Structure 1
Amino acid sequence: MNINDAVQSSEVVACTLSVNNVNVKVLFDSGATRYFISESFIGKLNYEIELLVEPLSIIVANQEQVSVKSICPWCKVKISGYSFPASLIPFRLGEFDVILEMDWLAEHGAQIDYKKKKVILKSSQGKKVEFKGHK
């Protein structure tokens, strides 16, 4: 999926946010079951990856099974001055730098209006944090 597809889709929201103080293209996808960071983008974050105790098996959209052996723990997604933690899995991604999925969204009490491309999250302080994605 690219940004144009995301803008047209009624199932995802795309936006630009800060992860570890670097602007990234983010896809909020409530249908995804893992959260990812582009392998090619990790170097820009100046952030160390950790090896997983056991490799993780992921089935991608074309039904190919891929083994993942590392993770970027405790990345900080910044939205409107609030920080939201995410342990991101390095993966070959297309146009997006980060994909955030349903468990991450649920963990932060997400409410998504796909038609308006609006996302509301709850910060760790209990504050509502709202932003709009690309239209």
Structure 2
Amino acid sequence: YYPAAIPFIFIILLLQTQISPKEGWQVYSSAQDPDGRCICTVVAPEQNLCSRDAKSRQLRQLLEKVQNMSQSIEVLNLRTQRDFQYVLKMETQMKGLKAKFRQIEDDRKTLMTKHFQGRKPIINQVVVLFIQYN
């Protein structure tokens, strides 16, 4: 997500339009270098000066498209952040489950060993009896 790129797109598009000195333009935005010199000025037609002018209409439509695109990018950014947080949360939960499964497996092995250790004398007696009768 590059919010700073949107004004630059708008500036580039404005610079591509021919600005006639006879028309009334207002400064939309400007930028200065560290020494305070103006390095970029964005101008737009004065409001309602040429509302029926084709260039003015195109400029308004272009501005609307840029604003819509900015909003769409912002929505996508918010969704991406939300999804990323969900993935991080799920990753943590999966690690926790993995640790629990490991513990359950270890506990199962321990219980089986204890169970068979307790039954070993009985099994040995059964084996001896089985050998005697065969």
Same fold, judged at TM 0.5 (above)? no
Q: Which has the higher contact order (CA 8 A, sep 6+)?
A: 1
TM-score (norm 1): 0.24
Considering only CA atoms, is the larger Rg found in Structure 1 or Structure 2?
2
Q: Which has the higher helix share?
A: 2
